[in-house]
Amino acid sequence: MVDTGIVMPLYKQDMGYLQAAISTVLAQSYREFRLIIVIDGAPEMVGPALHAAGGDPRVQLITLPENKGVSNALNRGFDELFQDPAITYVTWVSSDNVYYPGFIERLRRELEHGPDSLGLVFSTFRHIDASGNSVHDDKQQQALIRYQSQPHHELLNASIVGVSFMYKSKYARLIGGYRLPPVEDYDYWLRLSEVCDMKFVPELLMDYRVNSTFSVSASLQSQEEHRRWRYIFQIAKHEARARRGIPVEMNILMPVTDIATAEPLLDKLLEQHYSNCIIRLLDLTPEQQAASLLPRIPDPRLIVTPRPYYSVKEALIQAIGETTTRFVVCYGVKPYIAVTDLYELTDFLRPLEATHAFYYYFDDHSNIGSGTVVSFVPPEWNYVYFTHRLHQALEEGR
């Protein structure tokens, strides 16, 4: 019985890549599946798709009159599949990747034999270049496996699922379709993980083609497009925390005295993996210009607080006094060096409330320092502090 459904969204694609993607799906060891290719406003791809399918009766083409993006194409394909009650396991594939013969069988077996609550399984994968050569060495491949092996609650911080996955249709029906392009897959995993369990399979089951000409990643190379991607990525996280009732953990206070120097510093800050925070831009510019950064560097965590005629010290002292989150950071002067700095500092500090006041990286990033007493206000730049310790220091300094 056909119990597995696959959707392939297809816009413009290199003919060789498309042939490889479709042929490797059709050559799967598990054969009881339907493949729906959704041609997203690219009628010139109908012929190549039919040629690659070779008349296989498991393949169905749906042609959309205009290009509306991956999310829309996926939703159209899954709407078609979900009309069949026998479809129990589903996945989607890209038109430029290569799928190993056991891709469907291995992931399907995990779902079939796992507990009923298991709704999403995902495997590791290999990065390849345009010619199909491996991009990473064995050490880098093992690093990817460690990254994907993180506890599943870390999905809120990092997109650990990746590009090789399968999930149960009964859970997919509960959460609605794909949305929030270009992070539709990440947003989907967040919502799916709220109604079912997930499991990582540390096996190579496919090749992921890096930055191929017509891929989404290739379209995100400009600063403007990267900022847009980052903004939607943070919206997905922000909405997930709101659905789960997770309170904001940190306030990051950033005095802005000059727009030209603030913009690159803020860009660097927004690259940090840690994201459960509010970022308050304390606007100290004479003409209150900090708000002009928001259209260029959008982020749902950004708040502009006007502080005309304040000094940096005065603005920080007042803002620290108003902060109610567990942690606080005064950011400025220099960026964090690694994108994991805030995440690691907070992770070190979190269990040590009874004994420590702050953690920080040395200027040369050679080590992590800590402190137990705060004897100055405002605090050092980029240290992660327990807010109540700064409140105590503030009171003692008056």
Q: What is the pLDDT of residue 117?
A: 98
Same domain for 200 and 62, yes or no, is yes
Lowest-pLDDT range of 17-31, 70-84, 203-217? 203-217
Mean pLDDT of 16-34: 97
Question: Which CATH number characterizes residue 255's domain?
Answer: 3.90.550.10
The total of structural domains in the chain comes to 2
Evaluated on CA atoms 91, 206, 217, 50, the torsion sign reads negative
Q: What is the pLDDT of residue 221?
A: 73
Domain membership of residue 234 (yes or no) is no
Same domain for 50 and 115, yes or no, is yes
Same domain for 82 and 213, yes or no, is yes
**What is the rounded average pLDDT for all residues in the chain?**
95
Q: Which of 92, 114, 95, 88 is nearest to 103 (CA)?
A: 92
Question: Whole-angstrom distance between the N-terminal and C-terminal Cα of the chain?
Answer: 76
For the stretch 61-72, pLDDT in tens is 999 999 999 999
For the stretch 324-374, pLDDT in tens is 999 999 999 999 999 999 999 999 999 999 899 999 999 999 999 999 988
Residue 123's domain comprises 4-220
Which residues, including other chains, have CB under 8 Å from residue 298's CB and lie 6 or more apart?
227, 228, 231
For the stretch 289-334, pLDDT in tens is 999 999 999 999 999 999 998 999 999 999 999 999 999 999 999 9
Q: What is the pLDDT of residue 199?
A: 98
Enter the pTM of the model.
Answer: 0.92
Cα angle 139, 159, 16; round to 5: 70
d(CA 205, CA 107): 9
Same domain for 172 and 264, yes or no, is no
